[in-house]
Amino acid sequence: MGFIIGGIIVLLLIIFWIANYNSLVKLRNWVEQSWAQIDNQLKRRYDLIPNLMETVKGYMKHEEQTLAKIVSLRNQMGDTSATREEQMEANNQLSSSLRQLFALREDYPDLKANENFKMLQEELTGTENKIAYARQLYNKTVSEYNTKIESFPSNLVASLHQFAKTDVLSTPPEERKNVKVQF
């Protein structure tokens, strides 16, 4: 009788262990899938930038520095050896430079009226929104994963199978500043 009870306890512990392990694997895969969504949107924006640069090049001859910075940052985004943190830093700088470029369009009425520029601006704005949503989803997924890794008894399974915490993506300092609105 004691042998049967001991066997049942061992079986329940094995089932518990497997369930926790599978849960951690599922969450880790969700984190990777969430990152892939960010990566897809970054690639989409990466592909749109050359068209934007061709459109504005003729109009903004005096803005060479801004255009060169955007090209340089785009090239950094294409670096496949960059870490997630390096990719997101380049992404943040590129977003800032694109906002600067779109603000400059007010100084160039012909560019402002160019249909191709308008279309590219709308596509890039939509892509920026998708990147923001993907970042939000990634951070939510990472938080769930990290919570599971740190919570008892899952932390026992996580430490034995070397599941490591993942960093959330932080908001760049320039995006945390208060927006000054003037009418």
Q: What string of DSSP letters covers 7-34?
A: HHHHHHHHHHHHHHHHHHHHHHHHHHHH
What angle, 0 to 180 degrees and rounded to 10, lies between the N-to-C axes of helices 2-57 and 64-77?
Answer: 150
Residue 57's domain spans which residues?
2-166
Q: Is residue 94 part of a domain?
A: yes
Domain count, the chain: 1
Is 41 a member of any domain? yes
Question: Dihedral of the CA atoms 83, 88, 91, 92 (nearest 10)?
Answer: -140
* Tally of CB atoms within 10 A around 101: 20
* Averaged pLDDT for residues 53-60: 74
Is 180 contained in some domain? no
pLDDT digits (tens, 9 = 90+) for 95-140: 888 887 777 777 777 777 778 878 888 888 898 899 989 999 999 9
Residue 172 belongs to a domain: no
Reference 105, options 125, 89, 88; nearest CA is 125
Q: State the pTM of this model.
A: 0.74
| Position 182 in a domain | no
Question: Would 171 be classed as within a structural domain?
Answer: no
Mean pLDDT over 36-64 rounds to 81
The encoded tokens of residue 100 equal 């600067």
Q: Are 158 and 24 in contact (CB under 8 A)?
A: yes
**Mean of the per-residue pLDDT values of the chain:** 83
- In the chain, % helix, strand, coil (3-state, to 5) comes to 80, 0, 20
HSE-CB of 85 using CA atoms within 13 angstroms: 3
Indicate which CATH number applies to the domain containing 138. Answer: 1.20.1440.20
Is residue 144's pLDDT more than 50?
A: yes
Predicted pLDDT of residue 29 = 96
> What average pLDDT does the segment 154-179 reach?
79
State yes or no: pLDDT of 182 exceeds 50: no
The 8-class DSSP code of residue 153 comes to T
What gap in Å lies between CA 152 and CA 132, rounded to an integer? 32
Q: Please indicate, yes or no, if residue 17 is contained in any of the structural domains.
A: yes
> How far apart are alpha carbons 20 and 14 in whole angstroms?
10
Question: What percent of the chain stands above pLDDT 90?
Answer: 36
- Mean pLDDT of the region 147-153: 93
Q: Flag whether 175 is in a domain.
A: no
